[in-house]
Structure 1
Amino acid sequence: MDALKMFFRDQACIVWKEAWEAARLIGERPELGYQEYFAVETLTQLLKSHGFEIQQPAAGLDTAFIARFSGYKPGPRLAFLAEYDALPGIGHGCGHNLIGAASVGAAIALSKSLELPGEIWVVGSPAEETSGGKVILVNEGAFEGVDAALMFHPGSQNATIISSLALDALEFVFLGKAAHAVAAAYYGVNALEALIDFFNRTNRLKDNLPQDAYINGIITEGGTSPNVIPERAVARFYLRARQRKVLNIIRNQVIRCAQEAASAVSAKITWNMFENSYDEMQSNRALAGAFETNLRELGVRNISPPQSAMGSVDMGNVSRIVPAIHPYLTLGGGMNIPHTRDFAQACLSAPGERLLLLAIQALALTGWDILSSPKLLNLAKRELNPRPSGKQR
Structure 2
Amino acid sequence: MKNKLINELHNVEQELWDICCKLYENPELGDQEFESMKLLTNMLEAHGFEIETGIVNRPTAFKAEFNSGKTGPKIAYLAEYDALPGVGHGCGHNLIGTMSVGAGITLSKVIQEIGGSVVVLGTPAEETNGAKVPMSAQGIFDDIDVAMILHPSDESFISGESLAMDAIQFAYKGKASHAAASPEKGINALDSVIQLFNGINALREHLPTDVRIHGIISDGGVAANVVPDYAVAQFYIRAKERSYLNEVVGKVKNIANGAALMTGATLEISNYELSYDDMNTNQTLSDAFTENLKKTSELPIYPAKSSYGSIDMGNVSQVVPAIHPYIGLNKPGLVAHTEEFANQTITKDGFTALQSGALALAYTGLDVITDTKLMTSITTEFNNK
> TM-score with structure 2 length normalisation?
0.97
Structure 2 contact 37–60 (Cα < 8 Å) conserved:
yes
Matched, 1:10 2:10: no
Report the Cα distance in structure 2 between the residues aligned to 1:373 and 1:307, rounded to whole angstroms.
29
Residue matched to 1:130: 128
Map of 2:60 onto structure 1:
63
1:169 to 162, 167, 170: 167
Q: Which moved more, 1:288-297 or 1:119-128?
A: 288-297
Q: What is residue 24 of structure 2 aligned with on the other side?
A: 27
2:154 corresponds to 1:156? yes
Give the one of 210, 221, 224 matched to 1:223. Answer: 221
Deviation, structure 1 residue 300: 3.6
Partner of 1:391: none
Asked if 2 retains the 8 angstrom alpha-carbon contact of 1:72 and 1:115, the reply is no
Contact between 2:299 and 2:328, CA under 8 Å: does it hold in 1? no
Give the 3-state SS of the residue equivalent to 1:78 in structure 2: strand
Deviates more, 1:110-119 or 1:91-100: 110-119
Deviation at 1:59?
1.1
1:245-284 superposed matches below 5 A: 245-284=243-282
Tell me the residue number matched to 1:376. 374
Structure 1 residue aligned with 2:49: 52
Q: Deviations over 1:141-167 (max 9, x none)?
A: 211211100110001222222111111
Q: Distance in 2 between matches of 1:165 and 1:153?
A: 17
1:43 alignment partner in structure 2: 40
Match of 1:184 among 170, 179, 182: 182
Deviation at 1:335, TM superposition (A): 3.1
Whole-angstrom distance in 1 between the partners of 2:89 and 2:369: 32
Aligned to 1:390: none
Q: Match of 1:288?
A: 286
Aligned amino acid, residue 276 of structure 1: L
Q: Tell me how large the CA RMSD over aligned residues is.
A: 1.2
2:293–2:357 contact (8 Å) kept in structure 1: no
Mark the CA change 1:289 to 1:222 in structure 2 (over 3 Å): closer, same or farther: same
Q: Distance between the aligned counterparts of 2:20 and 2:378, measured in 1?
A: 31
Which amino acid in the other structure matches residue 121 of structure 1? V
CA contact (8 A) 1:77 1:119 kept: yes
Pairwise CA distance, 1:72: 4.4
2:231 is paired with a residue of what secondary structure? strand
> Deviation of residue 246 (structure 1)?
1.4
In 1: Cα distance, 2:353 partner to 2:33 partner? 23
Give, in angstroms, the shift of residue 9 of structure 1.
Answer: 2.2
How many Å apart are 1:116 and its aligned residue?
3.3
Aligned residues: 384
Secondary structure at 1:177's aligned position in 2?
coil
| Structure 2 equivalent of residue 302 of structure 1 | 300
Deviates more, 1:333-342 or 1:303-312: 303-312
**Contact 2:296-2:357 within 8 A present in 1 as well:** no
1:78 and 2:75 are equivalent in the alignment: yes
Give the aligned residue type for 1:58: I
Distance 1:172 1:299, change over 3 A: closer
Deviation of 1:105 after TM superposition, in Å, equals 0.3
Equivalent of 1:364, from 362, 371, 385? 362
| Contact 1:175/1:191 (<8 A) preserved | yes
Q: CA deviation at 1:94?
A: 0.4
1:239-270 CA deviation, whole Å, 9 max, x = no partner? 11111111111111111110001101111111
Candidates 95, 117, 123, aligned match of 2:92: 95
Deviation at 1:180, TM superposition (A): 1.3
Distance in 1 (alpha carbons) for counterparts of 2:95 and 2:2 = 23
Question: In the alignment, which of 104, 107, 110 is matched to residue 107 of structure 2?
Answer: 110
Check whether the contact 1:24–1:348 (CA below 8 A) recurs between aligned residues. yes
One-letter code aligned to 1:90:
V
Q: How far off its partner does 1:301 sit? A: 6.0
Task: List per-residue Cα deviations over 1:300-335 (Å, max 9, x = no partner).
Answer: 462212322221110000000000011101112233
Q: Does 1:340 align with 2:342?
A: no
Task: Write the letter of the residue equivalent to 2:365.
Answer: G
Deviation beyond 6 Å, 4+ runs, structure 1: none
Q: State how far apart, in whole Å, the 1-side matches of 2:182 and 2:91 are.
A: 52
Inter-partner Cα distance in structure 1 for 2:69 and 2:356: 27
1:121 aligns to what SS in structure 2? strand
Spell out, residue by residue over 1:153-200, the C-alpha distance to the aligned partner (whole angstroms, 9 max, x if none).
001222222111111100000111111112221111111111111111
Q: CA shift at 1:299, angstroms?
A: 5.0
Which letter does structure 2 place at the counterpart of 1:17? Q
Q: What stretches of structure 1 of length at least 5 have no aligned partner?
A: 388-393
- C-alpha distance in structure 2 between counterparts of 1:247 and 1:119, whole Å: 36
Pairwise CA distance, 1:5: 1.2
Structure 1 distance, partners of 2:332, 2:270, is 39
Unaligned runs of 5+ in 2: none
Q: Distance in 2 between matches of 1:117 and 1:124?
A: 23
Q: Secondary structure at the match of 1:296?
A: helix
In structure 1, the partner of 2:205 is 207
| Secondary structure class of the residue paired with 1:342 | helix
